[in-house]
Amino acid sequence: GAGVSQSPRYKVAKRGQDVALRCDPISGHVSLFWYQQALGQGPEFLTYFQNEAQLDKSGLPSDRFFAERPEGSVSTLKIQRTQQEDSAVYLCASSLGGQGSRFRSGTEAFFGQGTRLTVV
């Protein structure tokens, strides 16, 4: 597609429920990032993929969070046993990236609209 697409846009989950958030990056983009953005805060890094390889998952807050990108395109962020503190907007971004690079010259990041997760 023309841009980064995320689904669903909104998700309400009962505490303890598992959720799966989808990100469809721009075709051909090597790098894919997941961020968590709480209300009034800046996006916080969760994890980074280069193609299908998850090169950095240091930002995932707990082992309840799991991300995958099995074919190097679409990515899924899964949150198990959701808790109220998981409520946030989850942003996905992609960039052309490249070997060993993250954000480099000319490789700006394009963000999706995000998924607003509310855990009740």
Our finding on whether 24 is near other proteins (CB under 8 A) is: no
Write out the two tokens for 116: 């607003």
Q: Are strands 115-119 and 10-13 parallel, antiparallel or unpaired?
A: parallel
For residue 79, what are the CA distances in angstroms to 28, 30, 66, 119?
27, 24, 6, 11
Our finding on whether 110 is near other proteins (CB under 8 A) is: yes
For residue 18, what are the CA distances in angstroms to 12, 51, 69, 83, 85?
11, 25, 18, 10, 14
Which stretch, 10-18, 61-69, 76-84, 103-111, contacts other proteins (CB under 8 A)?
103-111
Our finding on whether 18 is near other proteins (CB under 8 A) is: no
Q: Which residues of 80-96 are buried (b: 16+ CB within 10 A; e: fewer)?
A: eebeeebbbbbbbbbbb
Which stretch, 12-20, 22-30, 67-75, 107-115, contacts other proteins (CB under 8 A)?
107-115
Our finding on whether 120 is near other proteins (CB under 8 A) is: no
Which stretch, 20-28, 63-71, 75-83, 110-118, contacts other proteins (CB under 8 A)?
110-118
Using the rule CB under 8 A, which residue among 75, 77, 112, 115 binds other proteins?
Answer: 112
Point out which residues bind other proteins (CB under 8 A).
4, 33, 35, 41-45, 48, 55-56, 58, 91, 102-106, 108-114
